[in-house]
């Protein structure tokens, strides 16, 4: 038998009443309700959260082929089975009605600055479209091509930015200023205690008597202690 929460029980009770009015008797209503609840397929899928750079391990509850809840994986030595509000909101991003589910190519340049003037294409069409543009830039003038990424010294972005630039033959690599990424934290911790870049220093919360947070939102900030 599938365990249900109090909220689910109340919903089922309301459904039972509705079914009773349709089927005529409560007995037939309960038979229909039992068949509906027993047919639910429930399973857990292990994955990695991609809502920030920390990539915590997660367990996703799937009911009848649809993800309904995200939990932290207790076997993850990094997150220790916890998941923040941002990670839990991954469900909303997955089922967002405005989510782009396939490549889009702009066909009307006069509508730049809006979501109009795009055509939905397949991945093969999109890859061929991009490849033709890169080939044209490489043949005509590679220096007209620039590759943009995150903080250039970052180990996550630099290999892609530099590698694509070399492939095209362009020295132009663009990245966000270090002050917008991990640099302030890394610099402050390094000059203070001699370490603090990648990876993060693990905070000793269990042995701390006081924790002072300066303009930091633990539910939404990136660095997980």
Closest CA to 90 of 41, 63, 52: 52
Q: Which residues contact 84 (CB under 8 A, 6 or more apart)?
A: 218, 219, 220, 224
Cβ-contact 225, 203 below 8 angstroms: yes
pLDDT at position 182 is 66
| SS3 readout for 98-116 | CCCCCCEEECCHHHCCCCC
Decide which of 201 and 210 is more confident: 210
Give the C-alpha separation, 212 to 215, whole Å: 10
Whole-angstrom CA distances from 153 to 160, 184, 195, 224 are 11, 14, 17, 21
Mean pLDDT of the chain: 75
pLDDT digits (tens, 9 = 90+) for 66-118: 899 999 999 988 888 888 888 888 998 889 888 888 999 988 888 877 778 88
Structure-block tokens of residue 139: 């043949």
Whether pLDDT at 219 is above 50: no
- Highest mean pLDDT, choosing among 2-11, 26-35, 138-147, 153-162: 138-147
pLDDT at position 23 is 47
Closest CA to 19 of 2, 41, 36: 36
- Can you tell me whether residue 174 is helix, strand or coil? strand
Q: Taking residues 1-17, report their average pLDDT.
A: 59
Give 53's pLDDT tier (boundaries 50, 70, 90): confident
Region at 80 (left for phi over 0; alpha for psi -120 to 50; beta for the rest): left
Residues 151/152/156/162 CA torsion (nearest 10 deg): 150
Strand 147-148, strand 173-174: pairing: parallel
Cβ-contact 175, 155 below 8 angstroms: no
Whether pLDDT at 206 is above 70: yes
Q: Taking residues 190-212, report their average pLDDT.
A: 66
pLDDT at position 29 is 45
Decide which of 196 and 90 is more confident: 90
63 sits in which H/E element: strand 57-63
Residue bearing tokens 């991945």: 123
Q: Taking residues 152-172, report their average pLDDT.
A: 76
pLDDT at position 201 is 55
pLDDT at position 72 is 93
pLDDT at position 121 is 93
Percent of the chain with pLDDT over 70: 61
pLDDT at position 52 is 80
User: For 173, phi and psi rounded to 5 degrees?
Assistant: -125, 130
pLDDT digits (tens, 9 = 90+) for 21-43: 544 444 554 465 555 555 578 89
């Amino acid at each position: 038998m599938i365990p249900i929460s109090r909220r689910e029980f109340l919903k089922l009770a309301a459904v039972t009443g509705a079914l009773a009015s349709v089927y005529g008797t409560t007995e037939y209503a309960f038979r229909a309700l039992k068949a509906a609840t027993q047919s639910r397929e429930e399973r857990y899928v292990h994955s990695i959260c991609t809502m920030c750079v920390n990539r915590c391990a997660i367990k996703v509850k799937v009911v009848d082929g649809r993800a309904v809840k995200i939990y932290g994986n207790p076997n993850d030595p990094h997150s220790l089975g916890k998941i923040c509000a941002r990670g839990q909101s991954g469900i909303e991003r997955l089922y967002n009605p405005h989510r782009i589910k396939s490549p889009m190519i702009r066909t009307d340049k006069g509508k730049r600055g809006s979501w109009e003037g795009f055509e939905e294409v397949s991945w093969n069409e999109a890859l061929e479209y991009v490849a033709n543009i890169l080939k044209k830039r490489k043949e005509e003038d590679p220096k007209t091509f620039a590759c943009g990424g995150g903080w250039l010294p970052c180990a996550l972005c630099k290999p892609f930015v530099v590698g694509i630039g070399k492939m095209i033959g362009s020295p132009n690599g663009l990245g966000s200023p270090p002050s917008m990424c991990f640099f302030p934290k890394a610099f402050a911790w390094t000059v203070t205690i001699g370490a603090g870049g990648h990876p993060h220093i693990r905070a000793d919360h269990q042995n701390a008597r006081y924790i002072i947070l300066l303009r930091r939102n633990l539910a939404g900030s990136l660095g997980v202690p």
